[in-house]
Amino acid sequence: MTRRFLFVVVVGLLTAIPMAMGTSAQAKIDVSGEWAFEVQTDGGAGSPTFVFNQAGDKLTGKYKGTFGEADLAGTVTGKTIKFSIKVDAQGTPLTIVYDGEVESNTAMKGKVDLGGMGAGTFTGKRTK
């Protein structure tokens, strides 16, 4: 009886620990702060900065770069980040969508869609 009880306890712990670790790892992702991005597109490269404010899975903040300054809105779900900005590109309204993965609280990467007028990739590093 004692061995059976010990076996059940050990199996239970071995099952519960990885699940708890996965849950806490997801809960710890918070991109709030200032980030420096490197963006590569068919039309060239850019180095915008973003200030993110994360509350749960909701993401808000500011963009500053080639297209001036703009508000951003999006989500962070697990390691997936998706946000957009609305800018004026030489008189043409444009919605730029960033869709990627948060690799850690200090790094992310993914793809960017320039409102159907081009596409590219991005990497981001937290600066503050």
Look up the CATH number of the domain holding residue 61: 2.40.128.120
Q: Tell me, what's the pLDDT at 57?
A: 94
Closest CA to 38 of 127, 125, 126: 125
Q: Tell me, what's the pLDDT at 12?
A: 55
CA atoms of 14 and 45, how far apart (whole Å): 48
Query: pTM value?
Result: 0.77
For residues 25 and 87, state if they share a domain: no
CA atoms of 71 and 21, how far apart (whole Å): 34
User: Residue 42's pLDDT band (boundaries 50, 70, 90)?
Assistant: confident
Closest CA to 60 of 50, 46, 68: 50
Mean pLDDT over the full length of the chain: 85
Q: Which two tokens stand for residue 119?
A: 């596409």
Closest CA to 57 of 76, 82, 71, 44: 76
For residues 41 and 65, state if they share a domain: yes
- Give CA separation, 42 vs 39, 112, 113, in Å: 10, 11, 11
For the cut 70, the answer to whether the pLDDT of residue 122 exceeds it is: yes
For the cut 70, the answer to whether the pLDDT of residue 24 exceeds it is: no
Q: Tell me, what's the pLDDT at 59?
A: 97
Q: Tell me, what's the pLDDT at 23?
A: 46
For residues 39 and 13, state if they share a domain: no
- Cα angle, residue 56 at apex, residues 50 and 62 outer, rounded to 5°: 20
For residues 87 and 117, state if they share a domain: yes
Residues 52-109 have pLDDT tens digits of 999 999 999 999 998 899 999 999 999 999 999 999 888 889 999 999 999 988 999 9
Instruction: Look at the chain and report how many structural domains it folds into.
Output: 2
